[in-house]
Structure 1
């Protein structure tokens, strides 16, 4: 047996959107998971709803826990607090499984399908997505805080940014220059002048580096169907790799399928969805070319593996999401090494080079734009001890 003795959560004031969960067993092992967005709400779900179901139980029963935690009477709708709590716990249980057997999580999942996976750099800044509010209005006039403040860089000179990325071995990048134009109409429409301004970074990249750089367009679920149609059709001339999350409701499979049939750019969907059924519905509708999933939002590794299998059955590649926290990235790398149809692993060089290092003992290694497998048992990383001792740390524990 491997009975769960305690479940501890940790969050810090500096990164209020992040929550870490540590699941401890009577073997002396500690599994690590992570949740993102609504950290305090997820913390409550873990201690008030999940902990009573898990404490004293056998941590090896990952599938049973997944089915229990992902089927609450209330709360299973997209990436709710309940689903995010279940995702964090699931990742921690897989970490325990790998540690128990002395093997990496990707081996526990069934082994590697590849020795490395391509990465693309999401051109975010140092604090993107981890504060309580997320700025979408960053423009060329904003001041750069360092060499990897890539959101400022793509609004200022996307061509120079592409050259910088190529010099580090990246040959794929993701940008979102249309975001700043959505608030004017709440995404219902986009003017011709704003459309042309949003296209300029793509033009600069092509002028600077030609076809040596793949470009992904992130649309952040901001647009109505007509606006998304205009943007996607305008992007066709730039040979982009995909347009990601173009519609305001990414579980609207019918509208997304209609959009996909009407444009020549590949559609990528969607980090915002929770659970395999939502992805099944997109695939049945013919609504996406690339399946993007976030392990901290979709149900953890257990559910992600099933979603990847669905994608494989529909001959669709998968691309795990990372623009949130280091543990989700680490778990995603394990999935990307295992899943046969993994296409890319998203990374953010700004966070890899800075605050991710301050939180965990190890991070994925990159070699000229390729992500290498994590080493060591389980996830291959643990939360640094000092994180829970920080002055701004909020630590809560449920014990058997």
Structure 2
């Protein structure tokens, strides 16, 4: 445990202080020795001495060869080295707001060190100039060095700037010890929700969420197993805004604190595909050209449909703990929002179900499904819990909606008008969709 080891505590603090270079820092620290331990962490874990020959100076420039370049285009581009990938051999490079992996490159380490040295000289020169402009600072420092005890008699200088509560605290603003409720933001905690002017609406949304948990048999209450520390949970509140800018619904969602999960213990794979926006645009163009129908549906509590393969224990949600079950914990049977494997579990469940209905998954775009029957064409696009249904036969599309509603808890939004923050306007006389 870090709190029992000063060495581990210092290593953790070193990593946290390095910000964006955290993974590279951990990668490097695991391969360097220390005074207290003779072997490196990598050698203690794998039993082999680490190979350091491939390591480069973090942040240095490098020329990386283009994967696809023509005769008139440059053969390489200048990037910044930012780390080492875990899944494959190579390096992470940054260029033009993107990070990519390449096996090798020409690293300008000497140039990086030379420029770094010049930068330090310039910085020292600027500091010297600043000291020449303000000689009074030098005199004060000399007085302090000669009479260090005078520091105790110097009065503390306090700021006269007026302090204000930041807006990020939502609608709880303290004024002279009192609390004033200002309805301008979503509550951040359960206590803020029940104390807000919209407390009844938030409580209703939380009760609806708990009903969904019960209907889907998300968990069972059990005595806490010995040696198992359950993960926590919290309420997340959101006002859903419509196209007109007004509040449509008040949503209270129970979210597990998945950051407390341990890989290999209560979760394994986490990857889940998401449809690319360009694929949605392509199918909208196809639908406009052939005058297909474009319908939209939303899956209510989508993640609750995913089945868990691991044993995951969670504390009971705040505000819904009864006296007779106060000491029990929730053993999750299905995935819940916040779990690391939640999105993957839901995607696997939906993919299994929709293929039973006769849809085929696109090999290049795994969130796009198609179904052909003679001249009848149907497409289905899944983006997490939002679904677009596109086709040329209304009875067939209606049967798809009926089947989805019988299999999952769905919300029928009718003709598609708003998806992923984009409004959809359609002029069917001109066959335009934009």
TM-score range with shorter-chain normalisation?
under 0.3
Q: How high is the TM-score relative to the length of structure 2?
A: 0.22
Bigger radius of gyration: 2
- Bigger relative CO (Cα 8 Å, ≥ 6 apart): 1
More strand by proportion, 1 or 2? 2
